[in-house]
């Protein structure tokens, strides 16, 4: 366990989070494990976020504020927090979510007793922050007991199969040993504002992290109106696609693990499906008809992806004018699940990635 007086560094990116920041930070400060620090990384907020953070820091010396000069997104904010963190363990908390009081103590005990590098719990999905009507993200049937998680299981869980349910492992908010992160030089991909949690978690497992998961739901996730996936770009999807393609071609763990290779192939096909459709529709919206035609005709698989998703989207598009917009198109819901996002997840004003 060592003699580090700070057991856990709670890293909290915050962007225009004045309505939720106080409750989020208080949930960390009220933990039964008190040997912690809370690093609030303000991502160039334009509201009262900084004033609230300063008031919290004045009240409790365990709170530190780090300010970004410009809005760079959640991945950059988390990397800033990782660089400044002093704790033995790193815990992630979004500025509109909350910890249950015993969460850090429970995860610490599990991490130490199992000699884990990473430990994570289930998410409690709270509609509009209301914990009284909350439901666990992962069902008891899908995760009946605590266990180790492999890289193949992580990827497979995010896409599901004929025989296994889809499990949004990629959306868990893990607690990670800081020395493991430093030893492997692991950081978030700052270029992606979509799917960066999936990429980071998969990198952890590919570096050999021993990942223990428990079905206990101690992270309270605020579900709000809107959709996370509206912000994904074709460039984000292309980077995820290229990352998985490199793994399949060059990573020794993938080469020696047929189950992991198969899962990555399947996941990459899901990403390719949505990449082609997103790039095609973006080109059409920008009146770039030649690039749109190239995307449609460059390959049989690309044509199939675009036409399949277009048919799925057609009824929603036809009703858009009557409804004043649509929030959860079929493709966006499926893409959310593939990248580890819980169903019916909402937009949050509290953090740039949301």
In this structure, is the dihedral angle defined by the CA atoms of residues 38, 123, 222 and 73, taken in order, positive or negative? positive
Structure tokens belonging to residue 318: 């036809």
Residue 120: per-residue pLDDT: 97
Residue ranges of domains in the chain:
8-224, 229-338
Find residue 167's DSSP bridge partners. Answer: none
In this structure, the strands spanning 175-177 and 118-127 are antiparallel
Task: Say which CATH topology domain 8-224 has.
Answer: Spore Coat Polysaccharide Biosynthesis Protein SpsA; Chain A (3.90.550)
Enumerate residue ranges in the chain where pLDDT < 70: 1-2, 129, 160-166, 225-232, 292, 295-354
Residue 97: per-residue pLDDT: 95
Chain segment 49-99, per-residue pLDDT in tens: 999 999 999 999 999 999 999 999 999 999 999 999 999 999 999 999 999
| Cα–Cα nearest to 218, from 94, 98, 117 | 98
**Predicted TM-score (pTM) above 0.85:** no
| Cα–Cα nearest to 28, from 7, 44, 3 | 7
- A 10 A CB-CB count for 26 gives 15
**SS3 of 277, please?**
helix
User: Residue 55 contacts by C-beta under 8 Å, 6 or more apart in sequence?
Assistant: none
Structure tokens belonging to residue 7: 């057991």
Taking each helix axis as running N to C, give the angle between helix 300-323 and helix 258-285, from 0 to 180 degrees, rounded to the nearest 10: 60
User: Residue 59 contacts by C-beta under 8 Å, 6 or more apart in sequence?
Assistant: none
Residue 59: per-residue pLDDT: 97
**SS3 of 335, please?**
helix
């Amino acid at each position: 366990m060592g003699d580090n007086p700070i057991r856990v560094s709670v890293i909290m990116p915050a962007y225009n989070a004045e309505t939720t920041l106080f409750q989020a930070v208080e949930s960390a400060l009220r933990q039964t494990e008190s040997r912690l620090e809370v690093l609030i990384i303000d991502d160039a907020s334009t509201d009262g976020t900084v004033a609230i953070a300063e008031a919290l820091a004045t009240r409790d010396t365990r709170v530190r504020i780090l300010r970004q000069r410009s809005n760079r997104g959640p991945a950059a904010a988390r990397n800033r927090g990782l660089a400044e963190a002093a704790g033995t363990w790193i815990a992630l908390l979004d500025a509109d979510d909350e910890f249950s009081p015993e969460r850090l103590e429970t995860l610490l005990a599990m991490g130490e007793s199992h000699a884990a590098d990473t430990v994570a719990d289930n998410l409690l999905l709270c509609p509009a922050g209301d914990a009284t009507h909350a439901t666990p993200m992962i069902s008891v049937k899908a995760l009946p007991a605590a266990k180790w998680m492999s890289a193949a299981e992580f990827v497979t869980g995010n896409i599901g199969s004929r025989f296994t349910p889809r499990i949004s492992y990629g959306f868990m908010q893990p607690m990670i040993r800081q020395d493991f992160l430093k030893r492997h030089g692991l950081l978030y991909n700052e270029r992606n504002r979509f799917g960066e949690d999936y990429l980071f978690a998969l990198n952890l497992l590919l570096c050999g992290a021993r990942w223990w998961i428990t079905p206990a739901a101690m992270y309270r996730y605020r579900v709000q109106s809107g959709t996370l996936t509206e912000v994904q770009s074709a460039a984000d999807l292309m980077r995820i696609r290229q990352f998985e393609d490199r793994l399949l071609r060059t990573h020794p763990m993938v080469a020696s693990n047929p189950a992991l290779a198969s899962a990555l192939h399947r996941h990459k096909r899901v990403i390719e499906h949505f990449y082609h459709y997103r790039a095609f529709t973006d080109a059409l919206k920008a009146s770039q008809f030649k690039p749109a035609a190239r995307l449609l005709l460059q390959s049989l698989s690309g044509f199939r992806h675009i036409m399949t998703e277009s048919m799925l989207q057609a009824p929603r598009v036809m009703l858009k004018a009557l409804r004043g917009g649509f929030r959860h198109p079929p493709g966006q819901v499926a893409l959310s699940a593939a990248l580890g996002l819980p169903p019916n997840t909402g937009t949050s004003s509290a953090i740039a990635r949301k």
